[in-house]
Protein backbone atom coordinates (compact mmCIF):
# COMPACT_ATOMS: atom_id res chain seq x y z
CA UNK A 1 0.00 0.00 0.00
CA UNK A 2 1.21 3.58 -0.69
CA UNK A 3 0.76 6.62 1.51
CA UNK A 4 0.30 10.16 0.31
CA UNK A 5 0.25 13.38 2.30
CA UNK A 6 -2.55 15.84 1.85
CA UNK A 7 -3.22 19.14 3.42
CA UNK A 8 0.22 19.31 5.11
CA UNK A 9 0.38 22.31 7.39
CA UNK A 10 2.77 23.59 9.96
CA UNK A 11 0.60 22.81 12.97
CA UNK A 12 -1.48 19.95 11.69
CA UNK A 13 -1.54 17.33 8.93
CA UNK A 14 -3.48 14.16 8.05
CA UNK A 15 -2.19 10.96 6.56
CA UNK A 16 -4.46 9.06 4.19
CA UNK A 17 -3.80 5.44 3.33
CA UNK A 18 -4.88 3.97 -0.02
CA UNK A 19 -5.16 0.23 -0.21
CA UNK A 20 -2.88 -1.39 -2.75
CA UNK A 21 -5.21 -4.18 -3.61
CA UNK A 22 -3.62 -6.74 -1.32
CA UNK A 23 -5.92 -9.15 0.40
CA UNK A 24 -7.52 -8.00 3.68
CA UNK A 25 -5.43 -8.88 6.70
CA UNK A 26 -2.08 -8.69 4.88
CA UNK A 27 0.59 -6.69 6.66
CA UNK A 28 0.77 -3.03 5.71
CA UNK A 29 4.32 -2.50 7.04
CA UNK A 30 3.13 -1.82 10.55
CA UNK A 31 0.41 0.67 9.43
CA UNK A 32 -3.11 0.37 10.75
CA UNK A 33 -5.34 -1.92 8.76
CA UNK A 34 -8.41 -0.69 7.01
CA UNK A 35 -9.22 1.84 4.41
CA UNK A 36 -8.72 5.52 4.83
CA UNK A 37 -7.33 5.18 8.41
CA UNK A 38 -5.81 8.34 9.78
CA UNK A 39 -3.01 8.57 12.36
CA UNK A 40 -3.02 11.07 15.19
CA UNK A 41 -0.44 13.80 15.01
CA UNK A 42 1.83 12.30 17.70
CA UNK A 43 1.90 8.88 16.06
CA UNK A 44 2.40 10.33 12.63
CA UNK A 45 5.53 12.16 13.84
CA UNK A 46 6.92 8.86 15.01
CA UNK A 47 6.90 7.65 11.44
CA UNK A 48 9.60 10.20 10.58
CA UNK A 49 12.58 9.90 12.90
CA UNK A 50 14.30 12.84 11.25
CA UNK A 51 11.83 15.33 12.70
CA UNK A 52 12.68 17.17 15.93
CA UNK A 53 10.71 16.13 18.98
CA UNK A 54 9.83 18.10 22.13
CA UNK A 55 12.47 17.74 24.92
CA UNK A 56 11.65 18.57 28.59
CA UNK A 57 14.51 19.87 30.89
CA UNK A 58 15.35 17.86 34.01
CA UNK A 59 17.58 18.62 37.23
CA UNK A 60 18.43 21.96 39.01
CA UNK A 61 18.55 25.34 37.40
CA UNK A 62 21.48 27.76 37.94
CA UNK A 63 19.34 29.96 40.20
CA UNK A 64 18.48 27.04 42.43
CA UNK A 65 22.16 26.11 42.73
CA UNK A 66 23.09 29.68 43.70
CA UNK A 67 20.35 29.84 46.34
CA UNK A 68 21.43 26.49 47.79
CA UNK A 69 25.06 27.68 47.89
CA UNK A 70 24.15 30.88 49.74
CA UNK A 71 22.04 28.96 52.27
CA UNK A 72 24.89 26.50 52.80
CA UNK A 73 27.36 29.31 53.42
CA UNK A 74 25.00 30.95 55.90
CA UNK A 75 24.60 27.64 57.73
CA UNK A 76 28.37 27.18 57.87
CA UNK A 77 28.75 30.71 59.25
CA UNK A 78 26.22 29.99 62.01
CA UNK A 79 27.99 26.74 62.91
CA UNK A 80 31.40 28.45 63.01
CA UNK A 81 30.06 31.29 65.15
CA UNK A 82 28.56 28.81 67.60
CA UNK A 83 31.84 26.90 67.71
CA UNK A 84 33.84 30.08 68.34
CA UNK A 85 31.42 31.17 71.07
CA UNK A 86 31.66 27.79 72.77
CA UNK A 87 35.45 27.92 72.49
CA UNK A 88 35.60 31.39 74.06
CA UNK A 89 33.32 30.29 76.88
CA UNK A 90 35.48 27.24 77.50
CA UNK A 91 38.67 29.31 77.60
CA UNK A 92 37.04 31.84 79.94
CA UNK A 93 35.84 29.08 82.28
CA UNK A 94 39.26 27.43 82.24
CA UNK A 95 41.00 30.73 82.96
CA UNK A 96 38.53 31.52 85.73
CA UNK A 97 39.09 28.11 87.34
CA UNK A 98 42.87 28.50 87.05
CA UNK A 99 42.71 32.01 88.49
CA UNK A 100 40.50 30.87 91.37
CA UNK A 101 42.81 27.98 92.20
CA UNK A 102 45.87 30.23 92.17
CA UNK A 103 44.21 32.81 94.40
CA UNK A 104 43.10 30.16 96.91
CA UNK A 105 46.62 28.74 97.04
CA UNK A 106 48.17 32.19 97.49
CA UNK A 107 45.67 32.99 100.25
CA UNK A 108 46.54 29.82 102.14
CA UNK A 109 50.31 29.99 101.66
CA UNK A 110 50.63 33.65 102.62
CA UNK A 111 48.31 33.22 105.58
CA UNK A 112 50.24 30.21 106.91
CA UNK A 113 53.56 32.03 106.74
CA UNK A 114 52.69 35.62 107.58
CA UNK A 115 50.40 34.82 110.49
CA UNK A 116 53.33 33.03 112.18
CA UNK A 117 55.72 35.95 111.77
CA UNK A 118 58.06 36.09 114.76
CA UNK A 119 57.23 32.60 116.07
CA UNK A 120 59.97 31.39 118.43
CA UNK A 121 58.22 29.05 120.82
CA UNK A 122 56.38 30.61 123.71
CA UNK A 123 57.05 34.23 122.64
CA UNK A 124 57.75 36.17 119.44
CA UNK A 125 61.31 36.99 118.36
CA UNK A 126 60.74 40.72 118.86
CA UNK A 127 59.83 40.08 122.51
CA UNK A 128 62.98 38.10 123.29
CA UNK A 129 66.52 39.13 124.18
CA UNK A 130 68.01 37.96 120.88
CA UNK A 131 71.72 37.40 120.23
CA UNK A 132 72.48 37.17 116.55
CA UNK A 133 75.45 34.91 115.73
CA UNK A 134 74.60 34.98 112.03
CA UNK A 135 74.89 38.72 111.48
CA UNK A 136 76.91 38.12 108.35
CA UNK A 137 73.74 36.68 106.82
CA UNK A 138 71.03 38.58 108.70
CA UNK A 139 71.98 42.13 109.54
CA UNK A 140 68.62 42.81 111.18
CA UNK A 141 66.20 40.26 112.59
CA UNK A 142 62.59 41.39 112.90
CA UNK A 143 59.28 39.54 112.96
CA UNK A 144 58.02 41.33 109.88
CA UNK A 145 59.14 44.14 107.61
CA UNK A 146 59.03 45.11 103.96
CA UNK A 147 60.44 47.05 101.03
CA UNK A 148 59.24 48.84 97.96
CA UNK A 149 60.97 48.18 94.66
CA UNK A 150 63.07 51.35 94.89
CA UNK A 151 64.68 50.40 98.25
CA UNK A 152 65.80 46.79 98.01
CA UNK A 153 68.55 44.85 99.80
CA UNK A 154 71.33 43.34 97.71
CA UNK A 155 69.91 39.80 97.55
CA UNK A 156 66.71 41.08 95.91
CA UNK A 157 68.24 43.38 93.32
CA UNK A 158 67.27 42.36 89.81
CA UNK A 159 64.59 39.98 91.06
CA UNK A 160 61.69 42.28 91.96
CA UNK A 161 59.42 43.86 89.35
CA UNK A 162 59.53 47.65 89.42
CA UNK A 163 56.60 49.26 91.21
CA UNK A 164 55.76 46.22 93.35
CA UNK A 165 56.30 45.58 97.07
CA UNK A 166 58.21 42.99 99.09
CA UNK A 167 57.12 41.54 102.43
CA UNK A 168 59.57 39.68 104.69
CA UNK A 169 58.74 37.48 107.69
CA UNK A 170 61.16 35.82 110.12
CA UNK A 171 60.22 32.85 112.28
CA UNK A 172 61.27 29.50 113.63
CA UNK A 173 59.88 26.58 111.67
CA UNK A 174 57.02 24.58 113.10
CA UNK A 175 59.15 21.43 113.48
CA UNK A 176 60.83 22.54 116.71
CA UNK A 177 62.56 20.06 118.96
CA UNK A 178 63.42 19.87 122.63
CA UNK A 179 66.89 19.80 124.14
CA UNK A 180 67.66 16.70 126.22
CA UNK A 181 70.11 18.33 128.64
CA UNK A 182 70.79 21.79 130.01
CA UNK A 183 72.92 24.05 127.83
CA UNK A 184 75.43 26.37 129.46
CA UNK A 185 76.41 29.81 128.27
CA UNK A 186 79.20 29.60 125.70
CA UNK A 187 78.31 26.01 124.75
CA UNK A 188 79.36 24.90 121.26
CA UNK A 189 77.23 21.72 121.19
CA UNK A 190 73.57 21.04 121.89
CA UNK A 191 71.98 17.63 122.41
CA UNK A 192 68.44 17.47 121.02
CA UNK A 193 65.66 14.96 120.41
CA UNK A 194 65.78 15.55 116.63
CA UNK A 195 68.09 17.73 114.58
CA UNK A 196 65.90 20.36 112.84
CA UNK A 197 68.70 21.54 110.57
CA UNK A 198 68.72 20.52 106.92
CA UNK A 199 71.46 20.32 104.33
CA UNK A 200 70.13 23.49 102.74
CA UNK A 201 69.44 25.40 105.96
CA UNK A 202 71.89 25.35 108.86
CA UNK A 203 70.47 28.46 110.57
CA UNK A 204 68.93 27.48 113.91
CA UNK A 205 67.20 29.37 116.71
CA UNK A 206 67.29 28.25 120.34
CA UNK A 207 65.01 30.09 122.74
CA UNK A 208 63.12 30.01 126.00
CA UNK A 209 60.56 32.57 127.09
CA UNK A 210 63.20 35.21 127.80
CA UNK A 211 66.31 34.78 125.62
CA UNK A 212 67.15 33.54 122.15
CA UNK A 213 70.27 32.76 120.13
CA UNK A 214 70.36 32.69 116.34
CA UNK A 215 73.34 30.55 115.30
CA UNK A 216 74.84 28.53 112.48
CA UNK A 217 75.11 24.76 112.86
CA UNK A 218 78.04 22.76 111.50
CA UNK A 219 75.99 19.65 110.85
CA UNK A 220 72.45 18.63 109.93
CA UNK A 221 72.73 14.94 110.86
CA UNK A 222 72.83 13.37 114.31
CA UNK A 223 71.25 14.38 117.60
CA UNK A 224 74.17 16.51 118.70
CA UNK A 225 74.29 19.91 117.03
CA UNK A 226 77.74 21.47 116.76
CA UNK A 227 77.87 25.27 116.65
CA UNK A 228 80.19 27.56 114.74
CA UNK A 229 80.16 30.02 117.66
CA UNK A 230 79.36 29.63 121.36
CA UNK A 231 75.95 30.58 122.74
CA UNK A 232 75.40 33.88 124.55
CA UNK A 233 72.86 32.44 127.01
CA UNK A 234 72.28 29.29 128.99
CA UNK A 235 69.09 27.25 128.48
CA UNK A 236 67.27 24.76 130.69
CA UNK A 237 65.84 21.49 129.45
CA UNK A 238 62.38 22.35 130.75
CA UNK A 239 61.88 25.59 128.83
CA UNK A 240 64.15 25.67 125.80
CA UNK A 241 63.43 24.54 122.26
CA UNK A 242 65.38 24.55 119.01
CA UNK A 243 63.94 25.21 115.57
CA UNK A 244 65.12 25.92 112.05
CA UNK A 245 65.21 29.65 111.34
CA UNK A 246 63.52 30.90 108.18
CA UNK A 247 63.45 34.43 106.84
CA UNK A 248 61.13 34.45 103.84
CA UNK A 249 60.70 37.26 101.36
CA UNK A 250 57.65 37.34 99.08
CA UNK A 251 57.73 39.40 95.89
CA UNK A 252 56.70 39.66 92.22
CA UNK A 253 59.26 38.59 89.64
CA UNK A 254 59.54 37.78 85.94
CA UNK A 255 59.03 34.10 85.09
CA UNK A 256 61.09 34.44 81.86
CA UNK A 257 58.08 33.05 79.98
CA UNK A 258 55.70 34.72 77.54
CA UNK A 259 52.05 34.17 76.67
CA UNK A 260 50.49 33.57 73.25
CA UNK A 261 50.58 37.33 72.58
CA UNK A 262 54.31 37.51 73.37
CA UNK A 263 53.70 39.35 76.66
CA UNK A 264 55.82 38.68 79.73
CA UNK A 265 54.35 36.43 82.38
CA UNK A 266 54.97 37.47 85.98
CA UNK A 267 54.52 35.44 89.13
CA UNK A 268 54.58 35.46 92.91
CA UNK A 269 57.94 34.24 94.23
CA UNK A 270 59.59 33.65 97.58
CA UNK A 271 63.18 33.48 98.77
CA UNK A 272 64.34 31.81 101.98
CA UNK A 273 67.33 33.13 103.93
CA UNK A 274 68.50 35.31 101.03
CA UNK A 275 68.74 32.32 98.70
CA UNK A 276 67.46 31.66 95.21
CA UNK A 277 63.95 32.65 94.25
CA UNK A 278 61.22 30.03 93.88
CA UNK A 279 57.95 30.44 92.00
CA UNK A 280 54.71 30.02 93.93
CA UNK A 281 52.17 30.79 91.21
CA UNK A 282 52.34 32.40 87.80
CA UNK A 283 50.03 35.06 86.47
CA UNK A 284 50.39 37.49 89.40
CA UNK A 285 51.57 40.82 88.02
CA UNK A 286 51.46 43.17 91.02
CA UNK A 287 51.51 43.13 94.82
CA UNK A 288 50.99 46.12 97.09
CA UNK A 289 51.42 45.66 100.85
CA UNK A 290 50.00 47.80 103.66
CA UNK A 291 50.85 47.30 107.34
CA UNK A 292 48.25 47.81 110.08
CA UNK A 293 49.81 49.71 112.99
CA UNK A 294 48.75 49.26 116.63
CA UNK A 295 47.31 52.37 118.26
CA UNK A 296 48.56 51.14 121.68
CA UNK A 297 45.11 49.72 122.41
CA UNK A 298 45.52 46.51 120.43
CA UNK A 299 43.55 47.89 117.49
CA UNK A 300 44.71 48.92 114.02
CA UNK A 301 44.02 52.59 113.42
CA UNK A 302 45.95 53.07 110.17
CA UNK A 303 47.69 51.20 107.37
CA UNK A 304 51.13 52.35 106.23
CA UNK A 305 53.40 51.51 103.31
CA UNK A 306 56.86 50.08 103.97
CA UNK A 307 58.57 53.34 103.02
CA UNK A 308 56.46 55.14 105.66
CA UNK A 309 57.75 52.91 108.48
CA UNK A 310 61.23 54.14 109.30
CA UNK A 311 61.54 52.99 112.92
CA UNK A 312 62.16 49.35 113.94
CA UNK A 313 59.92 49.87 116.96
CA UNK A 314 57.10 50.74 114.60
CA UNK A 315 57.61 47.45 112.77
CA UNK A 316 57.12 45.71 116.11
CA UNK A 317 53.69 47.35 116.35
CA UNK A 318 52.36 45.81 113.15
CA UNK A 319 49.19 43.86 113.97
CA UNK A 320 47.95 42.92 110.52
CA UNK A 321 48.78 43.07 106.85
CA UNK A 322 46.69 44.03 103.84
CA UNK A 323 47.93 42.60 100.56
CA UNK A 324 46.50 43.68 97.22
CA UNK A 325 47.22 41.34 94.32
CA UNK A 326 46.63 41.89 90.63
CA UNK A 327 46.61 38.92 88.29
CA UNK A 328 47.20 38.75 84.56
CA UNK A 329 44.52 37.60 82.14
CA UNK A 330 41.49 38.56 80.08
CA UNK A 331 39.14 38.58 83.09
CA UNK A 332 40.01 42.14 84.02
CA UNK A 333 36.92 42.66 86.18
CA UNK A 334 37.91 39.98 88.68
CA UNK A 335 41.70 40.07 88.50
CA UNK A 336 42.17 41.99 91.76
CA UNK A 337 42.29 40.35 95.16
CA UNK A 338 42.71 41.85 98.63
CA UNK A 339 43.93 39.66 101.48
CA UNK A 340 43.81 40.59 105.18
CA UNK A 341 46.11 38.64 107.51
CA UNK A 342 46.29 39.08 111.29
CA UNK A 343 49.61 38.30 112.94
CA UNK A 344 49.60 35.60 115.59
CA UNK A 345 50.20 36.75 119.17
CA UNK A 346 49.67 40.42 118.45
CA UNK A 347 46.71 42.56 119.37
Residues 246-264 pLDDT 10s? 999 999 999 999 988 898 9
Task: Give the phi and the psi of residue 173 in degrees, each rounded to 5.
Answer: -65, 160
**Residue 110 pLDDT:** 96
Give SS3 for 308: helix
Contact 139, 222 (CB under 8 A): no
**Residue 3 pLDDT:** 46
Residue partners of 216: CB distance under 8 A and separation at least 6: 133, 134, 137, 202, 203, 204, 227, 228, 229
Task: Give the phi and the psi of residue 303 in degrees, each rounded to 5.
Answer: -115, 130
Task: Give the phi and the psi of residue 24 in degrees, each rounded to 5.
Answer: -60, 140
Strand 203-207 relative to strand 211-216, pairing: antiparallel
**Residue 202 pLDDT:** 92
**Residue 330 pLDDT:** 65
**Residue 99 pLDDT:** 78
* Cα(172)–Cα(10) distance, integer angstroms: 119
**Residue 95 pLDDT:** 77
Closest CA to 252 of 169, 170, 163: 163
**Residue 102 pLDDT:** 85
Helix (H) or strand (E) holding 15: strand 14-18
* Cα(236)–Cα(14) distance, integer angstroms: 142
List the chain residues with pLDDT less than 70. 1-59, 330-334, 347
Residue 173 CB-half CA count within 13 A: 18
**Residue 334 pLDDT:** 61
Contact 161, 149 (CB under 8 A): yes
Triad 109, 100, 254: Cα angle to 5°: 65
End-to-end distance of the chain based on CA atoms, in angstroms?
A: 135
Amino acid sequence: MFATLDNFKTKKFHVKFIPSGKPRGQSNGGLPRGRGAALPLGQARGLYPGRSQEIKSRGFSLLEILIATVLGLLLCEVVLQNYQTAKNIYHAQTELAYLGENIRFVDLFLWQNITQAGFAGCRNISELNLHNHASGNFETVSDIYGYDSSHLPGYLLGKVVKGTDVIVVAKASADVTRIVSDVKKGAIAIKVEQNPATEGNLFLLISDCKNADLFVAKNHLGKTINLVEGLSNGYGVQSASVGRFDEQAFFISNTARKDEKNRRIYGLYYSTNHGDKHELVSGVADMQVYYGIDNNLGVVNKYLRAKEITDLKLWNKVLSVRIELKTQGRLSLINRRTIYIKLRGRG
